[in-house]
Amino acid sequence: MRKKRIAILGSTGSIGVNTLRVIAAYPERFEAVALTALNSVKELDRQIRQFRPKYVAVGQQHVAVLKKAHARLKVLDVAQDLAQIVTSADIDIVIIAMTGAAALDPFLAAVRAGKTVAPANKEALVMAGDILMAEARKYGATVIPVDSEQSAIFQCLQGRDMKDVHLVHLTASGGALRDVPRSRHDKLSVRQILAHPRWKMGAKITVDSATLMNKGFEVIEARRLFAVAAEKIKVVVHPEAIVHSMVEFTDGSILAQLGVTDMRLPIQYALTYPERLSTGTTRLDFAKLGTLTFEEPDLRKFPSLQLAYDVLERDGLAPAVLNAADEVAVEAFLGGRIRFTQIYAVVERTVAAHMKGSECRKVGIDQIRQADVWARQRATEEIERL
Ligand SMILES: NC(=O)c1ccc[n+]([C@@H]2O[C@H](COP(=O)([O-])OP(=O)(O)OC[C@H]3O[C@@H](n4cnc5c(N)ncnc54)[C@H](OP(=O)(O)O)[C@@H]3O)[C@@H](O)[C@H]2O)c1
C-alpha cells in the first residue's frame, strides 16, 4: 500500500503535534511531507529531524536559519508559499491545523487542487465556507472535518440522506467559565481562562471556548460543512465532553458519536477515512462514567453564541466580520489590553457597525477578504474607544 503523503499546516500547534503523533504511530501508512509553523522554529527543527519532510514553511524572518541548518530541505515563507505546498503533486492530504484567517488561501488552493482536505481550522469555514465547499465539489476535493464536533456529525451522517435529518445536536463542554458567575469573569486572569477543563488546545480556541464564541463558530461551520439549516442546529451543554455531537433523524432516532477527549481520534479518522485503526487511546468505560449530563446553554451569560446565530441569519459578509473582530479582540485580551467581557463588546460593536452598513450582494472571495480587513480595522478602533 502506498503511503499517504501529508502536509500539516501548523505542525507545531496542539492539532499539528497530535497529527504527528498519529503519523508516528503508523509509519508504514503515513508520511509527513510538509510541515509549517509561524515562529516556533525550535519545535519545527525538532520535527524536521524526526520526520524528514520534503518541504517546510515558516515566518520569513526564520527562513535563513532553517535553510542553514537543513541544506537539502526546501524552506519556504509561510505567508507566501502555502498554496505552492498544498497544490504540490507530492501531497495527498492537507491537514489545516493553523489558527485564524490565514488558513483561507491555502484551504482554497487545496480544494482547487482536488486534494483531501482535513480542516481543524474553523476560521476559514466561518469566513467562506460556502465558497470552499462549492469549490471542493467543483474540483472533486474531499473535505473531512477534524474539529471533534464536526467529525462526530460527519460520522453520524455516513450513509444517511440529509433529507432525513431533523436536528443536529452540537455539544459544548461549556468552557472554563461554565460555573463562574458573569460578575466574576473580569476578575479571572488570562492563565485561569486558559485552563480548559476538558481539552488542551491553543490559546485562541481556548478563549473562544470560554466565551462560547467557539460554539457559535461551530454552528456556522456545521451549516457550511453539511448544508444543514441554521434552525436545525441546536447547541447543548455537555460538561463531560464524551458525546462529541449527535444527529437526530425524522423518525426520532438519534445517532451520537462518543469517545474520550483526545484529538487523535478525529485526526486519525480523517487520515484513515473510511477505514478505522486502533488509536492506542484509553477506551470509554460506561460503568465508570456513571452519568452523562446535558443542559441548555446560558445565552445571557454567554451572549457570543446568540451573536453567532444572528450573524448566520444575516449571512453574506457578516460571518467574516465576526471572525476577524473575534481574532482581534481575543489577541487584545491575551495581550492584557482588554478585559474578558470586553471581547464580546468589541466583537458585537464591530458586527453591529457592519450590519448597519449596506450589505454587499455579491459575496465572492475578494469581498470576504475586504470584509476581513475592514473588520480588523474597526475592531482595533473599538478597542481604542473602550
Ligand atoms: N486544539 C484543538 O483541540 C482544536 C480542536 C478543534 C479545532 N481546532 C482548531 O484548529 C486550529 C489550530 O488550533 P490549535 O489549538 O492547534 O492552535 P495552536 O496550538 O495555537 O497552533 C497553531 C498553529 O498554527 C501556526 N500559526 C499560527 N498563526 C499562523 C499564521 N498566521 N500563519 C501560519 N501558521 C500560523 C502556529 O505556528 P507557531 O507555533 O509558530 O505559532 C501553530 O503551528 C484552530 O483554528 C482551532 O480553532 C483546534
Please tell me the predicted confidence (pLDDT) of residue 85: 98
If you take atom 29 of ligand 1, which residue's CA is the nearest one?
Answer: 38
Band of the pLDDT at 175, cuts 50, 70, 90? confident
Q: What is the mean pLDDT of residues 49-69?
A: 97
d(CA 175, CA 151) in angstroms, rounded, equals: 19
Is a pLDDT exceeding 80 seen at residue 56? Answer: yes
d(CA 349, CA 366) in angstroms, rounded, equals: 23
Q: What is the mean pLDDT of residues 67-88?
A: 96
The C-alpha cell that represents 20 in the structure block: 504527528
Indicate the burial class of 320 (C-beta count within 10 angstroms; 0-12, 13-18, 19 or more). Answer: buried
237-255: pLDDT as tens digits? 999 999 999 999 999 999 9
Given the C-alpha cell 470584509, which residue does it identify? 371
Q: Distance, CA 202 to ligand 1 centroid (Å)?
A: 6
Is a pLDDT exceeding 90 seen at residue 1? Answer: no
Please tell me the predicted confidence (pLDDT) of residue 159: 96
Residues in the chain: 386
Q: What residues line ligand 1, using a CB cutoff of 6 Å?
A: 10-16, 37-40, 78, 97-100, 102, 120-123, 147, 199, 201-202, 205, 263
Indicate the burial class of 380 (C-beta count within 10 angstroms; 0-12, 13-18, 19 or more). Answer: middle
Angle between helices 203-211 and 213-226 (to 10 degrees): 100
If you take atom 28 of ligand 1, which residue's CA is the nearest one?
Answer: 99
Band of the pLDDT at 361, cuts 50, 70, 90? confident
Instruction: Report the atom number in ligand 1 closest to the C-alpha of 41.
Output: 40
Please tell me the predicted confidence (pLDDT) of residue 362: 76
- Mean pLDDT of all residues belonging to the chain: 96
Is a pLDDT exceeding 90 seen at residue 303? Answer: yes
176-231: pLDDT as tens digits? 899 999 999 999 889 989 987 777 899 999 999 999 999 999 999 999 999 999 99
The C-alpha cell that represents 320 in the structure block: 467574516
Top mutation candidate among 38, 58, 99, 126 for ligand 1, by most atoms within 8 Å of CB: 99
Top mutation candidate among 39, 82, 201 for ligand 1, by most atoms within 8 Å of CB: 201
Q: Distance, CA 34 to ligand 1 centroid (Å)?
A: 16
Among 80-84, 89-93, 360-364, where is mean pLDDT lowest? 360-364
Band of the pLDDT at 26, cuts 50, 70, 90? very high
Please tell me the predicted confidence (pLDDT) of residue 325: 98
Q: For residue 248, what are the β-bridge partners?
A: 167, 254
Among 104-108, 127-131, 171-175, where is mean pLDDT lowest? 171-175
Among 50-64, 182-196, 207-221, 282-296, where is mean pLDDT lowest? 182-196
Q: What is the mean pLDDT of residues 344-373?
A: 92
d(CA 319, CA 365) in angstroms, rounded, equals: 13
Is a pLDDT exceeding 80 seen at residue 128? Answer: yes
